[in-house]
Structures are given as C-alpha cells and as structure tokens.
C-alpha cells in the first residue's frame, strides 16, 4: 500500500484521486456508514424527500481548478443552475437578485450600479486566474496586478468595504449576506474576502446545486477513484494511526483536534500549535419537507436556489457578531436553499425540500428552530402552513454525523487572517513533524468549502516528499 487516507470528504477523495492518478495504490478509510463527509444526501424528514446533510450549493466545486479536470459527468455528476444565483429579500416585499450577468445584477442596484460593476467585473472576468491564486496556500502572487487589487479589498472588513463602496442599503445588504458565509464578524479584517470570492464565483461559474443531491458528487468521486484502482472502506473509523496497515504515506482529512487524538507521539511544540488552533462559530441546521414552495412576498425569490434572510447589513452584522461573541441572535441571519425548484427529483411530485442554517456560538445547544422559522415567515408569510415535516440539527448533532464539524464549525476552523496564512500551523502547508504524515482537510489551505483543493495540494506535497516527485 502506498498511501492511506483517513476520511472521505471532498478533500480526502481529492487526495486519494491525485495519488491514484500518479500511479500510487491508495486506501481511504471512512468512519461513517456512507461516503462523502460534507457531501452527503439523506432522507432526513419523510420518505422520498432527499436532503443535503451539509453542503448544497457549489460555486467552489464549479470553480475548482482540480475538480474540473476530473471525468465526473461520466459517473453521473451534473450541476444544475438556477435562473438566479441568489435572492436577498427586504421587509418592503422587494428583493435584489444576483444573476450571472454582472451588468444585469448591477442594473437593479440603482445608484450603486457603477460601483458594483467596478468591484465585481474585473474579478469575475478573470475567475480562472483568481481561483489559481487563492485556492491554494498563501504565496507571492504570480499575477501581481490582479492580486494587488483583489487583496486591497479582500483584506478589509466586509462592513468597511460595503459602506465604502456602496451608498444604498440594497447593495450593502447583498454584499454583507455573501460575506457572512465567512462565519466572521463583518467588522473583522479580511471578512470581505468571502464576499468578493463567492460574489465573483457567482458571476463566473454560478451557484449551482447537484442533480439528485450533493451525494452524487461524492459518489462520482468515489466511482472515479475506483476506476483508478483506489479502495474505499466505510464504517471504518480510525482511532489511532498505529492501527493502519503499513504504507509509505498517511494523509488525514481531519481537523487539528482529531489529529491530536489519533496521532500518538507528535512533538510537544507542534501539539501546542494544534491545541491553539481556533475553531469558528457553529451552525444550527434545519431541513423541511414542504407541500408547496415557500410563499415569498417577493416572488422573484423563486428564481434563485439560495436566499439570504437578514434584511439590512446592520442586522446581518449584529447576528454574525453575536455568534462570534458566544451569544444567540434574536433575528439570526439565515442562509436558505430551495433545491427542488431546480431539481424536482429530490422530492415526491409537487412536493419540495428546504435547507437552511444560521450561525450560533461554537458548540451551542440553543434551539434556533423557532427563530429560523420566524425569519422565513417574515419574508414569506404563510410558510409554516406548508411544512409537512422538519428536522433540526444543532452543532452536537452535526458533529455526530461527522467528527470534523467540531462544535458545529463547518469550515474546519476559523477563517481569520492568521489562519488564512498559517493553517493550521506555520509549518510548510500540509506537512507535520512526522515525515510521511500529512493533513489534507479544510483545516489546511485554502480552507472550507467543497473544492477538493486542500486534498489535491496535500497529495501533491506527499508525492514530492514521500514518493520522490512522482
Ligand atoms: C451544514 C453545512 C452546510 C455547508 N454548506 C456548504 C455549501 O453549500 N457549499 C460548500 O462548498 N460547502 C459547504 N459546507 C462546507 C463543506 O461541507 C466543508 O467545508 C467540506 O466538506 C470540507 O471537506 P473536508 O474533506 O475537509 O472534510 P469533510 O467533508 O468534513 O469530511 C471529513 C470526513 O472524514 C471522516 N473522518 C473524520 N475523522 C475520521 C476518523 N478518525 N476515521 C475515519 N474517518 C474520519 C468524516 O466522517 C468525514 O466523512 C457546509 C458544511 C455544513 C456542515
């Protein structure tokens, strides 16, 4: 055996595929009964209603320099694009839509049309170059002009950038909602980065969902790995690396806390770095089976799969700050996905699934169900009457399905400035003090999201260091 990979999330599978493509024999050990980590789809409410357990919307998969090199369509993987990437409704019954065209999106922002175009057109127009630069460890940029202008804005706080660039409440709120995917307070340095990257990705590659559910991506990656000779075991948790079969390299799709638990004998200094690694707020996730689509006050919300519920920049900022500070927001910012509008295959005919979460303090056991449903009801009166069944998953429940979701943190650790540069420690990316042991999860660069880049680049590092560059 050349390499064992612990964990079958997008990064574990990307690492396994990269090694197998280089001719290495690989074994993936997955602790859960099903493959995919954050890419699984299950009947969480009623029979016939298939819900994405974790990730649902895939700008980063669509824009991943690694995933797009794989023959995944041959294994049944297909991205479905809603007419609009994102809808952001307001209390007056109107909504802003982010559509693929920068110009069309800008045109709906009135006084901020020109500012929106200036911000996003250059980034969206050069998405492939931008993705090559940012979906990897921090380095001196190969495209200094592009990265200079991106970095200048990305290092700002989301609030600072939104207030500085836009005059109107609608453009400010739209940007704040996208930036809030960072799980950082919107006043923190570099919280603007997520807003810029996910906004640019929306225009360049879309915010699609996977036909049949995100599980299909996990299944396609696993099928491709099998064609390369890779082996995958489920229901096979690794409690100590000492129990693994002999191999030339081990790559762990786990976060620092789990590495500490399963890797005995790591040097004290390195252990201390891992212990100091900062996890971010958790998420409280909900899924519903619905008898009909959400009755939005602003009907254009039915044109998008993703809807951001938080009204103004100010309200979103209060909600994100609360989760970071250990408090629960009365009116939480809710990220909502209505996949069956684009993919009816996930529910019985005429019925719908709905997916949503809000950020909560790390490890919080607060029940946010009523507050999340109140936010939906606020923008869609009559929503509650359409609910056939619901399932709520607080952080502890999410972590039971996937140990990597420590305290409910979905990004493998906070995406603050320090941990963007040194993730999870200042060592050479992906390496550990144990020569042939590597980390390849979202706790390594470039961080959270379904893009596989952490796993792919960790495997390339392993090929260099443990297999003489091949
Ligand atoms: C509710 C939620 C919503 C999200 N929404 C999106 C979204 O819409 N779009 C997006 O791009 N991203 C989204 N994400 C984030 C995304 O899912 C993660 O960033 C991504 O899955 C991280 O990939 P990974 O391979 O590093 O880890 P994971 O996908 O977490 O996979 C880790 C795997 O390792 C296994 N494992 C851990 N420890 C062991 C062990 N000791 N032995 C054996 N196996 C082990 C786990 O069971 C798991 O299968 C979401 C996440 C959550 C939880």
- Ligand 1 centroid to 254 CA: how many Å? 9
Percent with pLDDT over 70 in the chain: 100
Quick one: which of 53, 46, 201, 40 has its CA closest to 131?
201
pTM, rounded to two decimals:
0.97
- Ligand 1 centroid to 114 CA: how many Å? 38
Query: Best substitution site from 4, 15, 37, 208 to test ligand 1's pocket, by max atoms within 8 Å of Cβ?
Result: 37
Model confidence at 470, pLDDT cuts 50, 70, 90, reads: low
CA distance 290 to 283: 22
Residue 221 has pLDDT above 70, yes or no: yes
Q: Which residues of 170-191 are buried (b: 16+ CB within 10 A; e: fewer)?
A: bbbbbbbbbbbbbbbbbebebb
Which regions of 73-156 does DSSP assign to beta strands (E)? 79-80, 84-89, 95-98
List pocket residues of ligand 1, CB cut-off 6 Å: 6-12, 29-32, 37-38, 54-58, 60, 237-238, 253-254, 258, 262, 283, 285, 357, 398, 402-405, 410-412, 441-442, 448-450, 454
Which residues have a Cβ under 8 Å from the Cβ of 309 and sit 6 or more positions away?
89, 333, 334, 335, 336, 375, 376, 378, 379
- Ligand 1 centroid to 112 CA: how many Å? 37
Model confidence at 195, pLDDT cuts 50, 70, 90, reads: very high
Angle at CA 459, nearest 5°, toward 59 and 262? 100
Quick one: which of 291, 183, 230 has its CA closest to 12?
230
State the average pLDDT for the chain: 96
* Length of the chain measured in residues: 470
> For the residues 323-339, what does the mean pLDDT come to?
97
| Torsion sign (Cα): 216, 219, 221, 224 | negative
- Ligand 1 centroid to 103 CA: how many Å? 35
Which atom from ligand 1 is nearest to the alpha carbon of 14?
A: 25
Q: Report yes or no: 10 and 214 within 8 Å, Cβ to Cβ.
A: no
- Ligand 1 centroid to 405 CA: how many Å? 7
Quick one: which of 172, 182, 179 has its CA closest to 158?
179
């Amino acid at each position: 055996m050349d390499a064992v990979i612990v964990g079958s999330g997008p990064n574990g599978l990307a690492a396994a595929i990269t090694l197998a493509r280089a001719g290495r024999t690989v074994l993936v050990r997955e602790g859960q009964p099903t493959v995919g980590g954050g890419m699984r789809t299950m009947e969480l409410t009623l029979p016939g209603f298939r819900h994405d357990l974790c990730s649902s919307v895939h700008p980063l998969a669509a824009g991943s320099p690694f995933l797009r090199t794989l023959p995944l369509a041959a294994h049944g993987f297909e991205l479905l694009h809603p007419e609009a990437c994102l809808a952001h409704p307001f209390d007056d019954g109107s909504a802003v839509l982010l559509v693929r065209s920068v110009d069309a999106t800008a045109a709906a922002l009135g006084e901020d049309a020109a500012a929106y175009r200036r911000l996003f057109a250059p980034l969206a127009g050069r998405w492939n170059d931008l993705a090559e630069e940012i979906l990897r460890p921090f380095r001196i940029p190969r495209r200094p002009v592009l990265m200079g202008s991106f970095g200048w804005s990305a290092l700002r706080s989301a609030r600072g950038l939104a207030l500085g660039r836009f005059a109107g409440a609608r453009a400010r709120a739209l940007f704040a909602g996208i930036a809030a995917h960072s799980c950082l307070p919107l006043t923190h340095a570099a919280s603007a980065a997520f807003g810029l990257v996910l906004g640019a990705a929306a225009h360049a590659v879309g915010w699609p969902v996977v036909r049949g559910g995100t599980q299909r991506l996990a299944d396609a990656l696993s099928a491709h790995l099998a064609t390369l000779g890779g082996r995958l075991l489920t229901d096979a948790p690794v409690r100590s690396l000492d129990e693994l079969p002999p191999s030339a390299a081990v790559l762990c799709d786990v976060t620092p806390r789990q590495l500490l638990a399963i890797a005995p004998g790591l040097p004290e200094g390195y252990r201390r770095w891992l212990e100091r690694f900062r996890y971010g707020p958790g998420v409280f996730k909900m899924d519903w089976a619905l008898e009909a689509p959400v009755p939005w006050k602003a009907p254009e919300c039915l044109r998008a799969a993703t809807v951001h519920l938080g009204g103004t920049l100010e309200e979103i900022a209060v909600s994100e700050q609360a989760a970071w500070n250990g408090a629960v927001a009365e009116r939480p910012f809710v990220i909502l996905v209505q996949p069956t509008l684009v993919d009816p295959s996930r529910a019985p005919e005429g019925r719908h699934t709905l997916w949503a979460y809000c950020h909560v303090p790390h490890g919080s056991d607060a029940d946010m169900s009523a507050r999340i449903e109140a936010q939906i009801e606020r923008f869609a009166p009559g929503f509650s009457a359409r609910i056939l069944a619901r399932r709520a998953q607080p952080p502890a429940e999410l972590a039971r399905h996937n140990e990597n979701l420590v305290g409910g943190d979905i990004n493998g650790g906070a995406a603050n400035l320090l941990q963007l540069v040194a993730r999870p420690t200042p060592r050479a990316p992906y390496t550990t003090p144990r020569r042939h042991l590597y980390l390849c999860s979202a706790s390594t660069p470039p961080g959270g999201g379904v893009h596989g880049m952490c796993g792919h680049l960790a495997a390339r590092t392993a090929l260099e260091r443990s297999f003489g560059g091949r």
